[in-house]
Structure 1
């Protein structure tokens, strides 16, 4: 197969990478040797050097070994972006274990499902989340809970004030006493310095991470990502960011590390390249703006909702965001208007990338520098990555500009789904990862996503792609966020509904919006229903949950049918 995209690459980006065949955690060992006294993490005023992170990770690894964790055992980390989340991640790997990233927003039911499915023996979580975890412990393989608190890595006097803020915010203060089952992270960190742990290692096959998919299309599945997968994707990311200087960049860590994009594009890349991570435990627009002005990050990986939130802040002009040089947007389609406005505000570059949990996650991106901007494209395949558009009928590669399913192949593609051989077989075909996304490729190798295979709306026999409708509606100056979805319709099978969030202080009627849409969309694509909302349901990383809205509509129809 030809790879037309390679002709588009600037000289600085190689078409194929030679991967360093070493464990993911070895990059922290090297960073501690090379940048020992340099700041690895900034967290709300507290700084940790590379040497401190390395030493702390080794202490955590030894403690896990003492709890009986052996090569291949699963250890869950249920934390927001804090120094503990980085220390524990590498500590699990040093111990030979497999990290299970767990969303701190999970309910008891979701925690129980993930712990059962992964077979995790140990979990590290926050004090305020302890009650939730301890309630489900008996129904899982969990034997130990390690508890930490945000205040443990806050500078004075923030560490003294924080418990009061926490009580006000969450209404609880949790004090956990150490026991055979309960362990305190701060006590582990107070133990003497530890030596590296020798052990066998298989670059190709050893799993570093079980990353659960969002579960928007059924039960979440554990994606098995090996050391090779993650080393490969972070190496590709580094190759793409060819103007970034090793040991010098500062990267803003808002994207949660329990999501694969934040984990790879912020944490793993930073450790691999000796960057400084500026961590924020959650996305708050004002805190983010103040942090950018004070800490001056140069790299800002994000999601469209994060950039939209910043652009719509009423005091945006008061802040200096000029340190930002490069932003790679993922997790959801990036509206062109958002891209242009953000670049005007910061003077930096913002481009769209593409990927999925099953590919560690990035497979495609637009160029940040030295190349023209291709409107509406997810970009080109990354180095060492192959991509094709396959026919939905035959599975064969399609000619340029024909719509089919996007497939990818490369060293970042998962080993498979944890304990789900049948689903692995359906998704991995002859080395190709079937993404479930519909799209096409142009003559130069630029790829375009038209929509999720599952999200395509079929109304009156027409195939309608929600993304196309959203792109048009985003151009309206009063709209902050929008999502289009197919909802049940007795006549057309499905019809198009648009859920709209307006910018603060703006007003818009259904009639005005309908007139606007009709100027740019064929009649059959124009939404038949508009619903204005204050907010839209989202995942932790800011991806709008279209499925949740569709399910809502289905339930409404079912209720109406019961009553009639």
Structure 2
């Protein structure tokens, strides 16, 4: 049986399947293409997936030795939603924060918060007390669900910010309220009856950019569910493009392994939220370990793996050492950072049944964006792929906002209902990023005649370490608190395993010295561990300047990298 082109397949689905019907709709004064018949809110995804999860009977959530069916998971969400309203007095418009590692409670709490019309505030589990203070002050969240290590970091902020901490796992018995008590003491186990508009705020996710502090990205329910159904549509389009062989067995139930933090959009949206309407099972890892990931993929019939490039590389090495090809794995995706082109063919050889995939998306787009899989990717390993249909539009713009010609470098700019509403409390940054519904990504790239986009550079001064965005100004701000430092410049250093790490050049005060170990000790409590510079260069003269007398970041980086090369 011969397949159709991707474009023909998309048009066929749009014209024959009412689930994916598209209409023009106005949102905040801008007209967008949007899905017409999908669930209006994130909590509505729970009910939308009920039948696909065996009317609730199928195993849904796995963590270590713990198991929940879809019905049990749904009941936990409903019970916690009632507890939030009845016991904690929370409701529509309140902001409620989550600060924990990847526990099942994270997913339950996330949906329970959104079920009562409140807004989920995702806090980076690696943040220091100082960094947590900024996000909680910025979001004005007063209730935080936290595990043990996070609860300890939050303790100094309780009185100042008026926080109520709900203890999870190892924080139970040491917090204001305990998660298990709230859950068991909930008055009801049915869905909370709340009026939520599709354009209400669903979440605030913090994303590092060019500023010293992270920006709170405000996502709406409409944005999240339009992203989810854009990905769900791909699973309907794929067999039309590449039909199964005659007599081929039915594909296994989709099953995803979550290996990236749930406070990032890569894990929450195209894995967790998509799993609800897709009927997919979810397995959480306590901590990344490549050999354990191989065993979990085999044990739980995992079909979908989405991690940062470092993780797919380490998975490949572990599978080779263990003599495994993971035959049920049909999707091996990369997000958060660009995968090295040379790795693509190696992954395809190691996992012959898996479609090796890549993607580009942003917290600001609910992770929706560009991608490709399989032969398309193998032929173009340096490309990011094509725009995911059908609700997105894309332009490549110059600095003046004019569309550039095919093949010319410009800023990747996207328009869709999945775009964020705003940056929290930052109207100027919002206006710079979103113009007439178009979101300027800060990433520079080119598009070819076939619509494939290649990302070549970025305007933002950020380092992408293993998929984690680190603002250079954030690192520099912390370095300026070190007494010996007069001025500082942070930049990316290529790293074989993580893609990039942070390097820093500093001008020291006369008569002082600063070793790497002293710097690290001085930054503890001010900067999360993953942001710490791995290399430090010190000098007593001012750092290199450009024509406008600003520090020449690229020039400083170039000099430091040359010194690094000659020293190794």
TM norm structure 1: 0.73
Give the conservation status (yes or no) of the 8 Å contact 1:250–1:276: yes
The alignment partner of 1:443 has SS state of: coil
Of residues 29, 36, 39 in structure 1, which corresponds to 2:47?
A: 29
**Distance across 1 between alignment mates of 2:253 and 2:214:** 38
Give the equivalent residue in structure 2 for 1:168: none
Shift of 1:435: 0.4
Are residues 408 and 141 of structure 1, via their aligned partners in 2, closer, same or farther at CA, if it must alter by over 3 Å? Answer: farther
For 1:389, what is the secondary structure of its paired residue? strand
Does residue 439 (structure 1) correspond to residue 445 (structure 2)? The answer is: yes
1:9 is aligned to 7
Cα contact 1:405–1:436 (8 A) shared by 2:
yes
> 1:408-423 alignment to 2 at 5 Å?
408-423=414-429
Distance in 2 separating the partners of 1:439 and 1:262: 25
Counterpart residue number, 2:93: 72
Aligned-pair CA distance for 1:132: 1.3
Partners of 2:428 and 2:416 in 1: CA distance: 21
Structure 1 pair 246/206, CA: closer, same or farther in 2 (3 Å)? farther
**Compared with structure 1, are the counterparts of its residues 30 and 241 closer, same or farther at alpha carbon in structure 2 (3 Å cutoff)?**
closer
Matching residue within 71, 75, 84 for 1:55: 75
Residues 59 and 502 (structure 1), Cα distance of their counterparts in 2 relative to 1, 3 Å cut:
closer
Distance 2:497 2:42 in 1: 44
**Is 1:196 aligned to 2:204, yes or no?**
no
Give the drift of 1:312: 3.5
Q: Write the distance in 2 (CA, Å) between the matches of 1:366 and 1:222.
A: 29
Name the structure 1 match of 2:330: 325
Cα distance in 2 for partners of 1:498, 1:421 equals: 33
Which secondary structure does the structure 1 equivalent of 2:202 belong to? strand
Query: Which of the numbers 38, 45, 60 marks the counterpart of 2:65?
Result: 45
Shift of 1:549: 5.3
- Confirm or deny that 1:117 pairs with 2:138: yes
Give the structure 2 partner of residue 241 of structure 1.
Answer: 235
2:359 to 343, 353, 357: 353
Q: Distance in 2 between matches of 1:322 and 1:495?
A: 43
Shift of 1:197: 1.9
Instruction: State whether residues 290 and 319 of structure 1, in contact with CA within 8 Å, keep that contact through their aligned partners in structure 2.
Output: no
Which residue matches 1:250?
Answer: 255
Offset at residue 372 of structure 1 (A): 7.2
Within a 5 Å distance, the mapping from 1:304-319 to structure 2 comes to: 304-313=309-318, 316-319=321-324
Please give the per-residue CA displacement for 1:451-502, whole angstroms capped at 9, x wherever unaligned: 111359xxxxxxxxx99xx9xxxxxxxxxxxx9x9xxxxxxxx999854448
Number of the residue aligned with 1:301: 306
CA distance in 1 between counterparts of 2:540 and 2:50 reads 60
Segment drifting more, 88-97 vs 21-30:
21-30
**Shift, 1:129, TM fit:** 2.7
Q: Is the 8 A contact 1:8 1:444 kept in 2?
A: no
Tell me the distance in 1 between the aligned counterparts of 2:46 and 2:228.
13
Change (3 A) 1:372 1:334: closer
Distance 1:193 1:202, change over 3 A: closer
Matching of residues 49-448 of structure 1 within 5 Å: 49-66=69-86, 67-142=88-163, 144-149=164-169, 176-177=173-174, 182-191=176-185, 193-203=188-198, 205-214=199-208, 217-242=211-236, 243=238, 248-313=253-318, 316-347=321-352, 348-368=354-374, 373-383=379-389, 384-392=391-399, 394-448=400-454
Query: 2:82 touches 2:188 (CA, 8 Å); kept in 1?
Result: no
The answer to whether the Cα contact below 8 Å between 2:207 and 2:214 also exists between their aligned partners in 1 is: yes
Moved over 6 A (4+): 244-247, 369-372, 494-497
Aligned length in residues: 452
Unaligned runs of 5+ in 1: 1-5, 151-173, 457-465, 471-482, 486-493, 504-543
Output one character per residue of 1:344-365: Cα deviation in whole Å (capped at 9) or x when no partner.
1122111211011100012111
| Per-residue Cα deviation, 1:306-325 (whole angstroms, up to 9, x for no partner) | 11222344963334522211
C-alpha distance in 1 between matches for 2:233 and 2:252: 15
Label 1:177 to 1:447 Cα distance change in 2 as closer, same or farther (>3 A). closer
- Give the deviation of 1:409 after TM superposition: 0.5
Q: How many angstroms apart in 2 are the aligned matches of 1:112 and 1:314?
A: 41
Give ranges in structure 2 of 5+ residues lacking alignment.
15-20, 23-34, 240-249, 473-488, 499-528, 544-568
Whether the 8 Å CA contact 1:112–1:137 is kept in 2: the answer is: no
> Against the structure 1 CA distance between its residues 343 and 34, is the aligned structure 2 distance closer, same or farther, given a 3 Å change threshold?
closer
3-state SS, counterpart of residue 300 of structure 1: strand
Does the Cα contact within 8 Å between 2:344 and 2:381 map onto a contact in 1?
no
Secondary structure in 2 matching 1:241: helix
- State the Cα distance separating 1:141 from its structure 2 match: 4.5
With 227-236 and 319-328 compared, the bigger mean Cα shift is at 319-328
TM-score (norm 2): 0.73
Higher alpha-carbon deviation: 368-377 or 259-268? 368-377
Cα distance in 2, alignment partners of residues 215 and 372 from structure 1: 31
Distance 1:270 1:495 in 2: 39
Q: C-alpha root-mean-square deviation of aligned residues, in Å?
A: 3.2
For residues 64 and 497 of structure 1, the distance between their equivalents in structure 2, rounded to whole angstroms, comes to 43
Aligned residue for 1:22, secondary structure, equals: coil
Cα distance between partner residues in 2 of 1:560 and 1:499:
26
Alpha-carbon spacing, 1:249–1:499, altered in 2? closer, same or farther (3 Å): closer
Q: Which of 45-54 and 236-245 deviates more?
A: 236-245
